[in-house]
Amino acid sequence: MVTHYRVDGHLACGHHGSNLSSTTELTQVKCRSCRGTAVFKENRTAARNAARRAARKAKIAHTSNDWRASWQQRLTDLPGQQRLPRGFGGQPFV
């Protein structure tokens, strides 16, 4: 059975009928005419871009490493008076 793309209560391809199956989910659309419409293509592009942005955001949040804090912790853990490198002002010794 062919599944059409429904937009604002109408089918994107323009077919009419009470027994036609339709959906708003892009991955389930099987009608070639619906897939060729500008509305379907724009919504598919928007969905792909949103998924890419979400993946990029999740990747950034997941791989965020604070090298500065880890370096300060490493120097703090060293025995004796170890100097902090340039740029770590306000704290001459650990």
Residue 70: is its pLDDT beyond 90? Answer: no
pLDDT of residue 43: 96
For the chain, which residues make up each domain, given as ranges? 3-62
Model's pTM, two decimal places? 0.60
Residue 87: is its pLDDT beyond 70? Answer: no
Residue 11: is its pLDDT beyond 90? Answer: yes
Q: What is the mean pLDDT of the chain?
A: 83
pLDDT of residue 93: 55
Alpha carbon distances (Å) from 75 to 11, 40, 88, 93: 65, 56, 12, 10
Instruction: Work out the average pLDDT over 28-49.
Output: 96
pLDDT of residue 23: 94
